[in-house]
């Protein structure tokens, strides 16, 4: 008689998830597969974390998305927090505002799935909170239905901005002890993790097909409110396909908002290595041209300019620009995209004010490494 394992369903889900990764239609190179397996490892980690931290009576803020657990074209500038909410329960979110560029809150009536995005119950940024002179704040609210609280704290200057602190408390269970561990509940959590794991992969395989890949290659959309209901954010999306002898030049006006950024990602619809490579840039990290515009070069080869976004071996990938902490009816200016032969880049586009030495580039990468380390997330 074979032993029935509590982790059986989760083991089966890991095997199914690996098959999904290995059979992805966009895999072209060993690097693509290796990154897919790394994506799988991060997804396994996140599924276990989310399932076993799930506690409607004593909710906790979880970091489900970061450089070791990527998903949904995650923003390299953001620290993400999630918590599950119970219908009819009362909550207090308290904390101290840091000096980051943006702090936003969103309550969704479910989770993303391969069938679609959940609805947004509430979405706003910290400008709608009453923040004391010392930076402290409290927000009390009621869970009108079961759902998910998502908080995003976003950096513009990785080296000099400081993150704040946050605490979520369910008021009607404050002071009550947590229930003792039960085998049946632990087994159920492994089953939940199994569903989360395969669902997560299927969701983010489907999501870019709804939006990003409907657009012509090597273009960016007109900025508009971000799908998913994030308050005071606009975004522009696209996907690229480049040979080593080509480059995309993206030109965008400097917007009147606290946060403006650009990133490239892989066909897995996740961020690429933003800690050791420059695959994303905020306005604070960018050089503004003499005409007041931001110009970025997306390419595999190094053009020797400060605003180079590295494709890091990805012939195909996705692109996204974000503007946050916007006022109502903003005019952020549409990005312009030009496909050029890499060898003619200097003749086609004036990037003189962006020229950078190899030593200065190395210092840029070191600054990124320090900036990520300061977040203390692993």
pLDDT in tens, 156-170: 999 999 999 999 999
Place of tokens 């300019």: 305
- Model confidence band, residue 107 (pLDDT cutoffs 50, 70, 90): very high
Burial of 134 (0-12, 13-18, 19+ CB in 10 A): exposed
User: What percent of the chain shows pLDDT beyond 90?
Assistant: 88
pLDDT value of residue 145? 77
∠ Cα 354 358 361 (to 5°): 65
Q: What residues are paired with 151 via a beta bridge?
A: 81, 105
In the chain, what are the domains?
8-208 (no CATH), 212-373 (2.60.120.1600)
Examine the pLDDT at 110 and tell me if it is beyond 80.
no
pLDDT in tens, 23-36: 999 999 999 999 99
- 118 versus 236: which is more confidently predicted? 236
For residue 2, CA distances in Å to 5, 8, 161, 188 come to 9, 12, 56, 20
Burial of 62 (0-12, 13-18, 19+ CB in 10 A): middle
Examine the pLDDT at 92 and tell me if it is beyond 70.
yes
- Give CA–CA dist 306/69, Å, rounded: 28
pLDDT value of residue 1? 41
Examine the pLDDT at 2 and tell me if it is beyond 60.
no
- Give CA–CA dist 74/206, Å, rounded: 15
Nearest 5°: phi and psi at 155?
-90, 145
pLDDT in tens, 191-222: 999 999 999 999 999 999 998 999 999 999 99
Average of per-residue pLDDT across 120-129:
91
**Whether 238 contacts 265, CB under 8 Å:** no
pLDDT value of residue 113? 74
Q: What is the pTM of this model?
A: 0.95
Examine the pLDDT at 331 and tell me if it is beyond 90.
no
pLDDT value of residue 329? 83
Span of 38-52, 63-77, 105-119, 173-187 with lowest mean pLDDT = 105-119
Q: What is the mean pLDDT of the chain?
A: 94
Average of per-residue pLDDT across 346-366:
96
- Give CA–CA dist 332/264, Å, rounded: 20
pLDDT in tens, 289-313: 999 999 999 999 999 999 999 999 9
Q: Give the distance, in angstroms, between the CA of residue 363 and the centroid of all CA atoms in the same chain.
A: 25
User: What percent of the chain shows pLDDT beyond 70?
Assistant: 98
- Model confidence band, residue 229 (pLDDT cutoffs 50, 70, 90): low
Beta strand ranges found along the chain (DSSP E) = 78-85, 90-96, 102-108, 120-125, 136-142, 147-154, 165-170, 224-225, 233-241, 246-253, 259-265, 280-282, 293-299, 308-310, 316-324, 336-341
Task: Find, among 237, 268, 248, the residue nearest to 309 by Cα.
Answer: 248
Nearest 5°: phi and psi at 42?
-65, -35
∠ Cα 15 20 26 (to 5°): 150
- Give CA–CA dist 263/277, Å, rounded: 11
- Model confidence band, residue 115 (pLDDT cutoffs 50, 70, 90): confident
């Amino acid at each position: 008689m074979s032993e029935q394992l509590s982790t059986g369903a989760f083991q089966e889900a890991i095997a199914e998830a690996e098959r999904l990764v290995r059979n992805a239609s966009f895999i072209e190179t060993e690097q693509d597969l290796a990154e897919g397996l790394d994506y799988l490892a991060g997804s396994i980690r996140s599924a276990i974390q989310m399932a076993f931290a799930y506690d409607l009576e004593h909710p906790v803020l979880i970091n489900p998305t970061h450089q070791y657990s990527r998903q949904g074209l995650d923003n390299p500038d953001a620290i993400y927090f999630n918590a599950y909410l119970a219908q009819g329960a009362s909550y207090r979110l308290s904390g101290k505002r840091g000096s980051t560029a943006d702090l936003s809150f969103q309550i969704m009536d479910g989770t993303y799935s391969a069938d679609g995005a959940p609805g947004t119950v509430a979405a706003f940024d910290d400008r709608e909170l009453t923040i004391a002179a010392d930076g402290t704040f409290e927000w009390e609210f009621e869970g009108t239905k079961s759902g998910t609280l998502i908080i995003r704290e976003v950096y513009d200057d990785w080296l000099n901005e400081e993150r704040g602190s946050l605490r979520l408390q369910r008021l009607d269970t404050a002071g009550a002890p947590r229930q003792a561990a039960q085998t049946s509940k632990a087994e159920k959590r492994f089953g939940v993790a199994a569903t989360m794991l395969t669902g997560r992969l299927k969701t983010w395989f489907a999501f870019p097909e709804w939006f990003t890949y409907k657009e012509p290659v090597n273009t960016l959309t007109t900025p508009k409110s971000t799908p998913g209901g994030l308050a005071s954010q606009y975004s522009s999306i696209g996907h690229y396909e480049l040979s080593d002898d080509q480059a995309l030049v993206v030109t965008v006006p400097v917007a009147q908002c606290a946060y403006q950024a650009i990133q490239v990602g892989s066909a897995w619809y996740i961020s690429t290595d933003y800690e050791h490579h420059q695959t994303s840039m905020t306005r604070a990290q960018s050089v503004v041209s003499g005409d007041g515009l931001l110009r970025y070069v997306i390419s595999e080869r190094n053009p020797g300019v400060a605003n180079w976004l590295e494709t890091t071996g990805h012939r195909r990938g996705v692109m996204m620009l974000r503007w946050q902490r916007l006022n109502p009816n903003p005019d952020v200016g549409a990005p312009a995209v030009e496909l050029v032969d890499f060898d003619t880049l200097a003749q086609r586009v004036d990037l003189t004010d962006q020229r950078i030495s190899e030593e200065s580039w190395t210092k840029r990468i070191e600054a990124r490494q320090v900036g990520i380390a300061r977040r203390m997330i692993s």
